[in-house]
Amino acid sequence: MAWQRYARLAADLVGPWGRVRFPAILTPYGFLAMRAVVAVLLFVTTVHAALWGVFRDKQEAPDFKGILPSVSYAPFEGTSHPDVDNIPNAEKIRADLKKLASLTRAIRLYSSTGGVELVPPIAAEFGLKVTVGAWIDKNVDRNEREIDAAINLAKRNSNVIGVVVGNETVYRGEQKVDDLIGLVKRVKKSVNVPVTTGEIWNIWRDNPELASSVDFIAAHILPYWENFTDKQAVDQAVYIYGMLRDKFPGKRIVIAEFGWPSAGYNLKNADPGPFEQAAVLRNFVTRAESIGMEYNIVEAIDQPWKFFEGGVGPYWGILNAAREPKFAWTGPIVNENYWKLALLALLVGVLMSLPILRLADATVMQSLMLSAAANGIGAWTATVFAYWTGHYFVFGSAFALTLGLILLVPLVLIAMARIEEIAAIAFGRNPRRLLAKGPSAEPAVTGSEAFPTAFPKVSIHVPAYFEPPEMLKQTLDAVARLDYPNFECVVIINNTPDPEFWQPIQDHCRTLGERFKFINAEKVEGFKAGALRIAMERTAADAEIIGIIDADYVVQPDWLKDLVPVFADPRVGLVQAPQDHRDGNRSLMHYIMNGEYAGFFDIGMVQRNEANAIIVHGTMCLIRRAAMDMAGGWNGDTICEDTDLGLAIIEHGWLTHYTNHRYGHGLLPDTYEAFKKQRHRWAYGGFQIVKKHWRRFLPGASRLSPDQRREFALGWLNWLGAESLGVLVAILNLIWVPIVAFADIAIPDKILTLPIIASFVVSLLHFVVLYRLRVPVKWGQMLGAMIAAMSVQWTVSRAVANGLITEHLAFARTSKGGFSLMSVEFQAFWEAVIGILLLVGAAVLVVTNNQKEVREIYVFAAVLVLESLPFLSAVAIAILENSRVNAFSFWRHAGVRTLELIGLRPVAMPTVVGSTSQPVASEIHREAS
């Protein structure tokens, strides 16, 4: 029967002590859970679709069924400036004017040369009137050519109804009022049509002599540039029109430019956008027609080459650059592409939710959180697509956006991986493969197929290189106290010629007895791996399990007694116990460093263990000798030989197990410098391992399961990639600051900056939530651990950079045992430089944005501040290490002084900054008493 087959399969997958082995199977409960997960995915997708429906923008505005009196027209295409390489031809102009003939009765031009002189005769073919323009600036020769060309066009084309000499030349400071009046009068003498100049309305108001010299006032009213909202724009235009009529009674007033941009950045309260543009223009033309206002809409077609006019420069047209209408003049204002974007968001959300179906026994809340995050990525993808298709890009902005999106892809993957871990730990099922501390498993070992004897022999290897003898003696004494009858200990001191370091250990090994073998090897190649290879040569032939501990680790007596029985399963190749430290109370710095280490062993390792994909970290590790031989033994081609060997063992199909019970305690790095060097070695070695093993992650190249491949790939991305990406993005943003602050272009849009902020929030929640759920530390130590974790971002990124350009760095021993002197150099110099530059960059952005108040710039400044935190964390720890505040005695005395000041005699003191350490609490109590 089917259920009998399930029972046999279940028995095979459950270990001898009731531990569920990898992988899990689908039981009837599993099928029900799968149905629940599918229901959750459908529910989230439905909610996502409903949200698109709820938030669909639909605005009402007056219908305009007439034809516009005039629109500004520039016959240019693309992003090239007309003065450089953007000469229109007759065919393009004819196609444009054919479209515009159904929208307007007339067009306004701004120049009369460079191909624009072709427009008036072609416009006549479609019955369009033309107001000719003569572009005036400081170039006298060009001005002469423009004026002559404008006069000729007015004389030769009967559809020319006016000439505009100059466009905002007084406002730009390129002509004085008197000089401009002279040019206007010159043209008036040469043509039989009205002549004027185009200026902002306040130039007309403040220069009545200019108004007197023209045939009509051509006033520009652009409320966007005056910090009016789209709701205020029409009222402002009508008010200015009335003011000009009152100031110049009897004078013909034409609003020669009125418009609103459909995209770009806000200017204080003025927000551009497609809905805003449609509503403003439809309201304006309705009001203008009702009061008999003469007006010209700027402009007919988007001009991508106007990127120098700020973010909104290219987006004033009523047609886009493809000559398609941007909005309808009647009916509700809607986004015609809205549902296409919604469908794209839903499809991406569904595709990114599908991996949830592969999770073993995912809970409803876990699936809900993951699917919501996946659909959030889908919504962001649709937003990016809308931005990409709705904007115009010159090479620089296109390159910046492309690079930004490329960098955001791993950032999004990292954020999703962290959300998945939050969901698994907060809402998922409890770990099933974690080896829990329990009674001795000795009876289960006796008579097993794996071992012919009750207690298989274990050979414990202790490599040492210039280690303090007293510290190493403590390690060996602890090994001697192991509650296990069948073990040996091989102590290998390598490349340490000074007898003060090795002679006491040799003598101590003789004292401890024949179980302890001492080796003093000089000129060993391959660093620690080379020493361990020598230890293997001296290992007893009948030793079936190899144990590795570092020279500073004091192991608990029950280490072997508890963990060796796991090897009774012949498929188990390795069992790993966590690192921990016994000197976390040496100083405040060591206290937070210890908290930072704990997170890896209580969170990441526990979760990876569920996929049989732990990272082997050498000390406190037990390895089946047969598995080690199959994997090729210790290799010296990486400086993380333990992780390298562990991955090789997993690649050969062996099972690994992990316990988060502390079976040994070592020593923390002596100094912050040593802490950073250790992290650099780990990161550099990790990158070496990536380069060495990536081919084995290809299909069929090893026995790695898809889940194992995923865990290792995401683990490397989450650590090496996240830190390197953080530094790279920070440096690129620093380079971008002066462009944003002083060039007034290429402001990073929210699609690039908000994901960075969201990723930071996810990382913060990931750290806090998982520490509260899994790591037994108090708030003070947790916050300190967060600072310590951030402080090595620069260190890890340097290691990755070193890995890209070098094949092998020397193994750097981590200084421990309290014998190291602090370096006279400041240990966070470059972090201080980059952190301060990021803060200065943020300040520059805020100050230079004071007049514009562009929201994207403030968001960009906030991103720079967030990016400075890892660098400033390193600075904070480097300063802490050299300050009085680092000593716990400072806090003890400060507490005593505080109690004395308030008139209380101290009897007992609380633990220091969230410490759970009893020795510190008791010291404080004794001193206070």
Rounded to the nearest 10 degrees, how much is the dihedral formed by the CA atoms of 797, 801, 807, 813?
-40
User: What pLDDT is attached to residue 918?
Assistant: 37
| Cα dihedral across residues 658, 661, 666, 672: positive or negative | positive
**Cα 926 to Cα 20, 619, 780, distances in angstroms:** 48, 36, 23
Give the three-class secondary structure for 620.
coil
> For the residues of 710-725, what is the DSSP string, one character each?
HHHHHHHIIIIIHHHH
19 has a pLDDT exceeding 50: no
- What's the CA gap between 16 and 711, in Å, rounded? 27
Residues 150/165, Cβ–Cβ less than 8 Å: yes
pLDDT band for position 440 (cuts 50, 70, 90): very low
| Cα dihedral across residues 167, 172, 174, 177: positive or negative | positive
- What's the CA gap between 183 and 196, in Å, rounded? 10
Residues 866/656, Cβ–Cβ less than 8 Å: no
pLDDT band for position 358 (cuts 50, 70, 90): confident
User: What pLDDT is attached to residue 917?
Assistant: 39
Q: Give the N- to C-terminal CA distance of the chain in Å, as an integer.
A: 74
User: What pLDDT is attached to residue 332?
Assistant: 95
**Cα 892 to Cα 179, 590, 914, distances in angstroms:** 80, 17, 14
pTM above 0.95, yes or no: no
Burial string for 161-187 (b: 16+ CB within 10 Å, else e) reads bbbbbbbbbbeeebbebeebbebbeeb
Rounded to the nearest 10 degrees, how much is the dihedral formed by the CA atoms of 9, 14, 20, 25?
0
Do the bridges between strand 160-167 and strand 129-134 make them parallel or antiparallel, or are there none, so unpaired?
parallel
> For the residues of 433-456, what is the DSSP string, one character each?
S-----S--HHHHTT-SS-SSSS-
Q: Count Cβ atoms below 10 Å from residue 722 Cβ, excluding itself.
A: 22
CA angle, 433 as apex, 430 and 436 as ends, to 5°?
Answer: 80
Q: Cα-flanking dihedrals φ and ψ of residue 39, to 5°?
A: -60, -40
Give the three-class secondary structure for 876.
helix
Percent over 70 (pLDDT), the chain:
89
Give the distance, in angstroms, between the CA of residue 141 and the centroid of all CA atoms in the same chain: 53
- What's the CA gap between 888 and 909, in Å, rounded? 13
Which residue type occupies 640?
C
- What's the CA gap between 683 and 734, in Å, rounded? 25
Give the number of C-alpha atoms closer than 13 A to the C-alpha of residue 98, restricted to the C-beta side: 6
Q: What is the CA radius of gyration of the chain?
A: 37
- What's the CA gap between 91 and 74, in Å, rounded? 14
Beta bridge partner(s), residue 325: 319
**Cα 36 to Cα 184, 361, 423, 428, 610, distances in angstroms:** 78, 10, 16, 14, 22
Query: What pLDDT, in 10s, does the model give residues 173-230?
Result: 999 999 999 999 999 999 999 999 999 999 999 999 999 999 999 999 999 999 999 9
Query: What pLDDT, in 10s, does the model give residues 242-270?
Result: 999 999 999 999 999 999 999 999 999 99
- What's the CA gap between 219 and 253, in Å, rounded? 7
| Cα dihedral across residues 175, 177, 182, 186: positive or negative | positive
H or E element, residue 197: strand 195-200
Which residue type occupies 634?
W
Mean pLDDT, rounded, of the chain: 89
**Cα 738 to Cα 742, 752, 925, distances in angstroms:** 6, 18, 56
Residue corresponding to tokens 């508890």: 562
User: What pLDDT is attached to residue 728?
Assistant: 95
Structure tokens at 646: 């562990």
Query: What pLDDT, in 10s, does the model give residues 812-845?
Result: 667 766 666 566 688 899 999 999 999 999 999 9
Beta bridge partner(s), residue 555: 664
H or E element, residue 147: helix 140-156
Residues 854/740, Cβ–Cβ less than 8 Å: no
pLDDT band for position 808 (cuts 50, 70, 90): confident
| Cα dihedral across residues 526, 528, 532, 535: positive or negative | positive
Structure tokens at 12: 């095979």
pLDDT band for position 905 (cuts 50, 70, 90): low
Give the distance, in angstroms, between the CA of residue 336 and the centroid of all CA atoms in the same chain: 32
User: What pLDDT is attached to residue 77?
Assistant: 86
Burial string for 770-808 (b: 16+ CB within 10 Å, else e) reads bbeebbebeebbbbbbbbbbbbbbbbbbbbbeebeeeee
Query: What pLDDT, in 10s, does the model give residues 553-605?
Result: 999 999 999 999 999 999 999 999 999 999 999 999 999 999 999 999 999 99
User: What pLDDT is attached to residue 412?
Assistant: 92
Residues 255/263, Cβ–Cβ less than 8 Å: no
* Mean pLDDT to the nearest integer, 448-461: 77
Do the bridges between strand 458-464 and strand 487-494 make them parallel or antiparallel, or are there none, so unpaired?
parallel
| Strand boundaries in 588-654, DSSP class E | 621-624
- What's the CA gap between 165 and 214, in Å, rounded? 10
- What's the CA gap between 689 and 699, in Å, rounded? 18
| Cα dihedral across residues 536, 542, 544, 549: positive or negative | negative
* Mean pLDDT to the nearest integer, 328-344: 95
- What's the CA gap between 653 and 296, in Å, rounded? 76
- What's the CA gap between 763 and 741, in Å, rounded? 29
* Mean pLDDT to the nearest integer, 47-65: 95
Structure tokens at 46: 């439905």
Residues 530/522, Cβ–Cβ less than 8 Å: no
User: What pLDDT is attached to residue 907?
Assistant: 45
Residues 31/2, Cβ–Cβ less than 8 Å: no
> 833 CB contacts (<8 Å, ≥6 apart)?
none
Give the number of C-alpha atoms closer than 13 A to the C-alpha of residue 385, restricted to the C-beta side: 15
pLDDT band for position 456 (cuts 50, 70, 90): very high
> 908 CB contacts (<8 Å, ≥6 apart)?
924, 925, 928, 929
User: What pLDDT is attached to residue 809?
Assistant: 72
Cis peptide before 299 (omega within 30 of 0): yes
- What's the CA gap between 410 and 416, in Å, rounded? 10
- What's the CA gap between 317 and 297, in Å, rounded? 9
User: What pLDDT is attached to residue 225?
Assistant: 95
Q: Which of 855, 701, 41, 749 is nearest to 371 (CA)?
A: 41
H or E element, residue 842: helix 829-848
Residues 120/162, Cβ–Cβ less than 8 Å: no
Q: Cα-flanking dihedrals φ and ψ of residue 546, to 5°?
A: -110, 125
Residues 579/666, Cβ–Cβ less than 8 Å: yes
Give the three-class secondary structure for 612.
coil
* Mean pLDDT to the nearest integer, 427-443: 75
* Mean pLDDT to the nearest integer, 504-515: 95
Residues 542/647, Cβ–Cβ less than 8 Å: no
